[in-house]
Amino acid sequence: MAIIFSFPGFESIASHIASDLKITRGDMEIRHFPDGETYVRLNSPVEGQQVIIICGLDKPDQKIMGLMFFAQVARKMGAKSIGLVAPYLGYMRQDKRFHDGEAITADIFAGFLSQIVDWLVTIDPHLHRHEKLSEIYTIPAAAIHASDHIADWVKSNIARPVLIGPDAESSQWVSEAAKKAGAPFMVLSKIRRGDRDVAVSLPDVATYHDHTPVLIDDIISTAHTMIETVVHLRALSMRPPTCIGVHGIFAGDAYDRLMSAGAHRIVTSNSIPHKSNDIAIEDILATAVSAMIKNNHSHKG
């Protein structure tokens, strides 16, 4: 028996998964007191059940206490296990000590999450120096990929696409999506001339002047990299590019700045609720959750 709860913003994904897997949709309340403290209440019984909570971990500091409170009260109420669906997984970027004395937050955060929940499902986590989540997570952790859905979106929406990865790190997302979309692709490389002076090198683009450039990256946060690339492509007289991010964080006014820079359109998956969401990932989340609840993991703490 399983029951799925949702943090604010993920209600429709939770309902979709509940209906796909024929499991109960749980009701919870989460809010903040005027002094900033978090209040959590579970309104559905969870005794003996596999509890699933969907909570995206963008802006993780704002949500992590609520998630800890949720998990602990669910355990207190007799939950058999607690699984976390985090469509976006935070704290994956500081995966190394770049300077003495730095906290490697990727490791510490993973250790903490591994203590409070029993399994994790996420989409395209920012794995860079680590190859797999199991290097930092001690609980079963599934990283599923949005590349099929991105490829499908490109095929349905762009007539003659050329996929472009704005930097070497993005090549994993772009090459995969290009293969699936049957489209050509290029990966640009950044040439760092100094702290703030970054040039973008571009292979010969003449071949693709009648194609629509589709920039693809895993995360659009400040959008610095995307903006730089859009400006560069426009300078080379390429068509206004469509920008795709698996995860659209859009720090501050990043969305507007990227549009102003010359993007034709910005598209993201619904891993983080935003008006740019046009790639639905409920079905792959449901499949991954289904596998987790079949394995019936229980709490080891």
- Nearer to its own copies by C-beta: 41 or 155? 41
Q: Is residue 252 within the footprint of its own copies (CB under 8 A)?
A: yes
Of residues 16 and 130, the one with the C-beta less far from its own copies:
130
194 versus 301: smaller Cβ distance to its own copies: 301
Distance (Å, rounded) from C-alpha 54 to C-alpha 32?
Answer: 19
For residue 157, give the amino acid letter: N
Among residues 13, 53, 117, 249, which is the contact residue for its own copies, using CB under 8 A? Answer: 249
- State the nearest-atom distance from the C-beta of 155 to its own copies, in Å: 30
11, exposed or middle or buried, with CB in 10 Å at 0-12, 13-18, 19+? Answer: middle
Q: How far apart are CA 84 and CA 137, in angstroms?
A: 13
Residue 212 phi, psi dihedral angles, 5° rounding: -95, 120
Provide, rounded to whole angstroms, the least separation between the CB of residue 79 and its own copies. 12
**CA 68 remoteness from chain centre:** 20
Q: Among residues 168, 199, 231, 251, which is the contact residue for its own copies, using CB under 8 A? A: 251
What residues numbered 29-88 form the site for its own copies, per CB under 8 A? Answer: 33-43, 58-62, 64-66, 68-70, 72-73, 77
User: For 203-241, b where at least 16 C-beta lie within 10 A, e where not — what string?
Assistant: eebeebeebbbbbbbbbbbbbebbbbbbebbbeeebbeb
Cβ contact 288:144 at 8 Å: yes
Subset of residues 126 to 185 that bind its own copies, contact rule: CB under 8 A: none
Over the window 91 to 110, marking each residue x when it contacts its own copies by CB under 8 A and - when it does not, the resulting string is x-xx----x-xxxxx--xx-
Binding site for its own copies (CB under 8 A): 33-43, 58-62, 64-66, 68-70, 72-73, 77, 90-91, 93-94, 99, 101-105, 108-109, 111-112, 221-222, 249, 251-252
